[in-house]
Structure 1
Amino acid sequence: MKGNLNLNWLRTFEAAARHLSFTAASRELGLTQTAVSQHIKALEGQLGQNLFIRKAKSLQLTEIGRAYLVSVRDSLEHIAFSTNGLFGPAQETTIVVRASAAMIIWLSPQLASFQKANPSIGIKLVTSLWQNDREGHPVDVDILLAAQSQSDTRMVKLSDEYIVPVCGLHTAKKIEMPKDLMTCNTIHVLGFDDHWARYLSSHGLPYADISSRLVVDTSVAACELVAAENGCTIMIDRFAQQAIAAGRQIRIVGDPVDTGQAHYFLQRKIRSAGSQVSTAFCDWLKTCF
């Protein structure tokens, strides 16, 4: 009967699907690899469908396995939340916060204050880079950069953002006015392709001929290239200020320009048991900006 499934089989399936490894799942669950394999075979037998594609050195989810994982993971999470809510947490509650690498670094010096005020709450920080909702852990709070005209009413605004030009200390000596930036090698950040155009146009300078000499996928990487005198980048002011405070050998060489964007947070599953934990984090987050 498909409606009467063994909960241990489902836990084993979730762990194996998350790790894509029976061996790793067995270590996490404290079972033998044989027991994990038997659990999965029993579950597949009762469902009448294969959940995994087994190869000599790899394990993959079938299409129906991927679809089923979403429901299984959500159900196990709901059971855990309900248990903690009714009977008290057996251990500290952990929330998952997703943000850009630059935002995580910017928040790092301030996290100690949240941990001191909330010693029973753990925080798992994951980067938003290439994150796949179907394969990653459930996210409690997203910190997003979006247009100020965004229409999603679930998103709570934290702060408007500004961009500044940043150079290495040696290159900075050559920059006296915005037009001098056009003589530098330009470093572009994927996803922020308009930053150079926005900054130059705000000073009445042409930007059509600016070429992407160096392209990276995070502001953190761009900052390191700048510090190594590989060129100049345009980045969010608060992240540049943080890098300078942390001792990076860079300098801001121009006035801030409005990006037309802001940082927001989005609290997910706000009606679920345990949502008060992520609410506490969001309340603290608003004080950081």
Structure 2
Amino acid sequence: MKQNLNLNWLRTFDAAARHLSFTAASHDLGLTQTAVSQHIKALETKLGQNLFIRRARSLQLTEIGQAYLISVRDALEHIDFSTSGLFGPELRTTIVVRASAAMIIWLSARVSDFQDKYPNTGIKLVTSLWQNEMEKHPVDVEIVLAAQNQSDHRMVKLSEERIVPVCGARTSANILTPVDLMQCEKVHVLGFDDHWARYLSANGLPTGVVSPRIVVDTSVAACELAAAENGCAIMFERFAQQAIEAGRPIRIVGEPVSNGQSHYVIQRNSASSEKRASAEFCEWLTTCF
């Protein structure tokens, strides 16, 4: 009974049969010619049959070798198909990119371009909400929001951001001027507590009357509340436009206002195998803004 066949021997047999050359097979597999020869000899010993006819300047399959090759290739193809189907294609490396939920959604319409350019690099997108948990798993690239006068040399500026008021389609009919915003239920986003005051102030309106009754922790949630006619939210113009393009039932109901912040990309310390992929992603990202 033949059992416990080494899979590497079978892959070497397939390569040698494909090239009819141990030398060419060694180049294909990244092995030495001696290693290829040893694999074939070990397989033949295990099977008790010669698979090749060896001549001085040529290599030829025996009849049983030709018959066996059909089954071996079929089995290897099944393994490759199953592995690719369950675990995805073979990748050179996978980089971890951390950003806000809204930024990840904004990138979702563009990330296929990166995949087309760098098919051997996988991307794992994680939200900033998981920052503490992710410290156990180093992040390769981080997209952050910070004041426009940042001087950290690691931070590459991507954009200057503007904020706009958004609300549902029905509510938007009642908002003709910035003054009308004063009568709306105001949705606040944690971490962006100054957005309402900044927007109202830029339009010459009082800010002392701003008192949040609805508070959420992401711009994505604020957008959904606005879409459901639960009030008006202030959010970044690019994220509002993305939501509208994606079919969300919201409207921008005011002119954009600069909020003095920008998005930056930071390439964190990575293992050497990921540094190149991280640099490629950062370079690609700058073309998206």
Q: Deviations over 1:161-192 (max 9, x none)?
A: 00000010000000010010010000000000
Give the letter aligned to residue 236 of structure 1: F
Tell me, yes or no, if structure 1 residue 193 matches structure 2 residue 193: yes
2:240 aligned partner: 240
Q: TM-score, normalised by structure 1?
A: 0.67
Give secondary structure in 1 for the equivalent of 2:109: helix
Give secondary structure in 2 for the equivalent of 1:207: coil
Give the letter aligned to residue 157 of structure 1: K
Separation in structure 2 between the aligned mates of residue 247 and residue 287 of structure 1, nearest angstrom: 25
In the alignment, structure 1 segments of 5+ residues that lack a partner are 1-89
Kindly tell me: are residues 92 and 273 of structure 1, through their superposed partners in 2, closer, same or farther at Cα, counting changes over 3 Å? closer
Give the letter aligned to residue 155 of structure 1: M
Cα distance, 1:271 vs structure 2: 7.9
2:288 aligned partner: 288
Separation in structure 2 between the aligned mates of residue 193 and residue 199 of structure 1, nearest angstrom: 11
Separation in structure 2 between the aligned mates of residue 136 and residue 271 of structure 1, nearest angstrom: 15
Cα distance, 1:151 vs structure 2: 2.4
2:229 aligned partner: 229
Contact kept, 8 Å, 2:93 with 2:273, in 1: the verdict is no
1:116 aligned partner: 116
Cα distance, 1:260 vs structure 2: 0.1
Give the letter aligned to residue 112 of structure 2: A
Runs of 4+ in 1 over 3 A off after TM superposition: 133-136, 270-274
Q: Deviations over 1:227-259 (max 9, x none)?
A: 000000000000000000000000000000001
Give the letter aligned to residue 184 of structure 2: C
Give secondary structure in 2 for the equivalent of 1:125: strand
Give secondary structure in 1 for the equivalent of 2:103: helix
2:146 aligned partner: 146
Q: TM-score, normalised by structure 2?
A: 0.67
2:7 aligned partner: none
Of 129-138 and 219-228, more deviation after overlay is shown by: 129-138
1:264 aligned partner: 264
Give secondary structure in 1 for the equivalent of 2:137: coil
CA-atom RMSD in angstroms: 1.4
Tell me, yes or no, if structure 1 residue 97 matches structure 2 residue 89: no
Percent of paired sites with the same residue: 67
Separation in structure 1 between the aligned mates of residue 167 and residue 115 of structure 2, nearest angstrom: 35
In the alignment, structure 2 segments of 5+ residues that lack a partner are 1-89
Separation in structure 2 between the aligned mates of residue 91 and residue 200 of structure 1, nearest angstrom: 49
Give secondary structure in 2 for the equivalent of 1:158: strand
Separation in structure 1 between the aligned mates of residue 147 and residue 262 of structure 2, nearest angstrom: 6
Give the letter aligned to residue 284 of structure 2: W
Cα distance, 1:273 vs structure 2: 4.2
Cα distance, 1:130 vs structure 2: 4.2
Separation in structure 2 between the aligned mates of residue 134 and residue 197 of structure 1, nearest angstrom: 33
1:252 aligned partner: 252
Of 123-132 and 181-190, more deviation after overlay is shown by: 123-132
2:278 aligned partner: 278
Contact kept, 8 Å, 2:94 with 2:274, in 1: the verdict is no
1:35 aligned partner: none
Aligned residues: 200
Contact kept, 8 Å, 2:91 with 2:122, in 1: the verdict is no
